[in-house]
Amino acid sequence: MRTEPKTLLAWLCDRDRLPYRRFEKRFTDHGVRLFGNSTTNPTCGETQFRRWTGGKLVTLPGPATCQILEAMWPEYTAVELFGPAPQGDPQAPAYDLEERVRMTAEEALEGADATASASVSDNTIDELRDQVTALARGYHLKPPAHAYEAADRLRLTTERQRDRTHVPVQQQELMILNGQIAALLAVAAFDLGYFPSASSFARTASVFGETTRFTPLQAYADGTLAYIAYHTGNPTEALAKATRALSYSGLGDTAQRRLQAIKARAHAHLGDVTGARQAVRLSSQDTGERRDDLHDVVGGEFAFTLERLAMSTSTTALLIGDAPQAEADARRALELLGQRPQDQQSTHVRASAAADLAHARLLADDIDGAAEAMTPVWAVPADQRKTGIVVRTARIGRHLAKPAYHGAHAPKALREQIEDFNRVSLPHRIGAPAALLAIES
């Protein structure tokens, strides 16, 4: 008979299928991310793990240990993790059943395909393609840490299938899928604040795109490298990469729109107002006639919706000092997003556009209007506060720290609220120091 979990930590380990060995590896990995690869990092032996999950602790472990556990499950505090397990959670059976069905389906498919020695079943590749598409289209609904883990599992599965086939057409298809997964890993790593890793994943995607002559993947990867570059203080490199990406053949209008928006931001970071405005104009020249197999057919995170374009051009307008245009574009982004079905609305786009709207109002010295515009930002859960949101809110915080606002209550309160909001975001809690420096500079 199954024993009911004694603590929330035990319940989460059951839910996430973390026996001691897997828990210990994840605990160690998060320790390295937080504190570096040091011999002084907290460890967790199996006996200690049993005490933690068995509800036998009298006092909490040390602060560093609690920090690691809170990074593993950002939605909970250490006090909650060592507290009682949830009782009668109506979502728990559904979650467990869904996960069990998913794992069983994968195992059954692998077993059915095991008879092939020099090739894999076309059905297997179709299934992998469907999974990559589902991940791309559902990315906006997942916390970036969960999206990263899902993409990494899919990467390992796809690589196993590549090792099993010697059929050139299948190798080609699986490399394209591997490249798409690497591109999604790059996005997730960037959203978490791991900029060097994000660059490595993007380069991996670019290599797969180049090897398979799948130019939309190359363009997407180079665009990702471009925005990583200007977020890390290298706008000249960003402009070069975006320009190179635009030179590839076979790109649809969506790809062109995304790359022109990235190029506009790079020009803005360089202080080139004319170049920024020209790229913004080019980003809106969408006939809808040209399509490609990545940005349009797979879509999702690979797409670049009109509300996302408006959000991006709003940020560009702020960088070049055009507050009225920034406010107009931010409002348009929010209006376009509101026209979509609820499950297609991106929390990230809404919060980013709202932050840009607040910043534009601040430039007009409208403190109350800025505070009102920030309302959707505060609603973003801690585990979904991606790098883009943190960057935008940090800029607002720096603006509010100017001498002109010293001594005023409303700006001080808003700045402190932003600091509290960002302090528990994943880029701040588990991101690398270099990333935080780039965000806060």
The per-residue pLDDT for 105 is: 58
Query: Rounded to an integer, what distance in angstroms lies between the CA atom of residue 240 and that of residue 67?
Result: 40
pTM: 0.74
Entry field: residues in the chain? 441
The per-residue pLDDT for 428 is: 76
In the block, residue with structure tokens 């899928």: 177
pLDDT by position in tens, the chain (length 441): 346 788 999 999 888 888 888 899 899 989 888 888 888 899 998 888 988 988 888 889 999 999 999 999 988 999 999 998 887 543 344 344 455 555 555 555 555 555 444 678 889 999 999 999 999 999 999 999 999 999 999 999 999 898 888 899 999 999 999 999 999 999 999 999 999 999 999 999 999 999 999 999 999 999 999 999 999 999 999 999 999 999 999 999 999 999 999 999 999 999 999 999 999 999 998 666 899 999 999 999 999 999 999 999 999 999 999 999 999 999 999 999 999 999 899 999 999 999 999 999 999 999 999 999 999 999 999 999 999 999 999 999 999 999 999 989 999 999 999 999 998 887 876 554 444 444 444
Give φ, ψ of 7 to 5 degrees.
Answer: -130, 165
Are the beta carbons of 332 and 310 closer than 8 angstroms?
Answer: yes
What tokens appear for 409 in the block?
A: 């209550």
CA angle 99, 134, 379 (to 5 degrees): 80
What are the contacts of 119-123 at 24+ separation with CB within 8 A?
119/164, 119/165, 119/166, 119/167, 119/170, 120/161, 120/164, 120/165, 120/170, 122/170
Are the beta carbons of 311 and 329 closer than 8 angstroms?
Answer: yes
Give φ, ψ of 431 to 5 degrees.
Answer: -70, 160
The per-residue pLDDT for 235 is: 95
Query: Rounded to an integer, what distance in angstroms lies between the CA atom of residue 102 and that of residue 434?
Result: 38
Tally of CA atoms within 13 A in the half-sphere of 357 that contains its CB: 25
Domain spanning 305-441: CATH 3.30.70: no
What tokens appear for 342 in the block?
A: 């609820």
**What are the helix and strand counts (H, E) for the chain?**
23, 0
What tokens appear for 21 in the block?
A: 């060995």
The per-residue pLDDT for 104 is: 53
